[in-house]
Amino acid sequence: MKPPRRSTSASHTTNIRPAPGSVTSAPTPRATRSAKRPPVVIVGTGRLGGALGLALSATGWPVTLHSRGDEGRRRIAALGLKPSTPEDLRRARLILLCVPDAEVPRVAKELASTLPRSVALVHTAGALSLQALGEPRGRALGSFHPLCAVSSAHDSLAGHTASISTRSSPLREVLRHMAEDVKLEAIEVPEAHRPAYHAGAVMSAGLVVALADAAVAALGTAGIAPDAALRALLPLMRSALRGMDARGLAGSLTGPIVRGDAGVVGAHLDALPDDLAPIYRLLSRRALKLVSERLSPESRAALEKRLR
């Protein structure tokens, strides 16, 4: 990946530039590395901010974490990361906003009013468009959303995916290089379709937890204690995920739907309480669409009738 080039254009697509004093012709290996890994400040010291800070620091990125509160500064110290100084903020080429979604517009506005336009602002909120960062006004704006359920700053991001959005070609290069270094596969999300993208992400993570809760409740109807039910179901869920990874969605589906067993499906619906049966019915209809071509017309019709 070539380092971003300096441009005389005032367009917001040219604002990730080499740091002042860096070599712009016949760069040395050290200068090339610096251009590919510009100084980064992470604003926010929660789980995601900490995880990104640790991952970037481990791969040689010059990264600092910014917090105004004592608790945040204690978290930075506990992670062994470097706290940002006012000079770090001014010299940064990229600021990652790892703050709650509702805080992004306010924090972005505050930073934009005090920092030079050479500093790109990038949020990490999957649900927010670039508009949450305000008007570009000559500044590169972007989003970098790791598709990873980060429950601790020490969680690894490697092997996951990051969705990227920006109108700046140089910033896109930097974000892609960032993803590559921390072993995230990068995908680009069109701004107009961000709500649908984020809904899918939520269904695959947070709502999977809610689905597990419903499954635990179903076992509870059979008299199995919640802790025992979860211990029994987690390995089953992992085996389903391994199957999807190896054979795709339709190829990994198991259970009465893929067997065309309407009698078992009917027994399940009769046994489930009123708050769980609709969940089972809705997901079973989805499963039927996945495998309908593999079923006989009679089996498919019987399942469709039972799932109405």
Residue 31 has pLDDT above 60, yes or no: no
Helix axes 262-271, 297-306, angle to 10 degrees: 10
Domain layout of the chain by residue ranges = 12-192, 203-306
**pLDDT tens per residue, range 52-111:** 999 999 999 999 999 988 999 999 999 999 999 999 998 999 999 999 999 999 999 999
Token code pair at residue 169: 């070609």
Token code pair at residue 55: 């991952």
The structure's pTM equals 0.80
Reduced to 3 DSSP states, what percent helix, strand and coil does the chain have, rounded to the nearest 5? 55, 10, 35
**pLDDT tens per residue, range 155-187:** 999 999 999 999 999 999 999 999 999 999 999
Output the CA angle 255-160-196, nearest 5 degrees: 70
- Which CATH code of 3.30.300.130, 3.30.300.30, 1.10.10.10, 3.40.50.720 fits the domain covering 12-192? 3.40.50.720
Look up residue 239 and give its amino acid. Answer: S
CB distance 134 to 105 below 8 Å: yes
CB distance 153 to 50 below 8 Å: yes
pLDDT attached to residue 179: 97
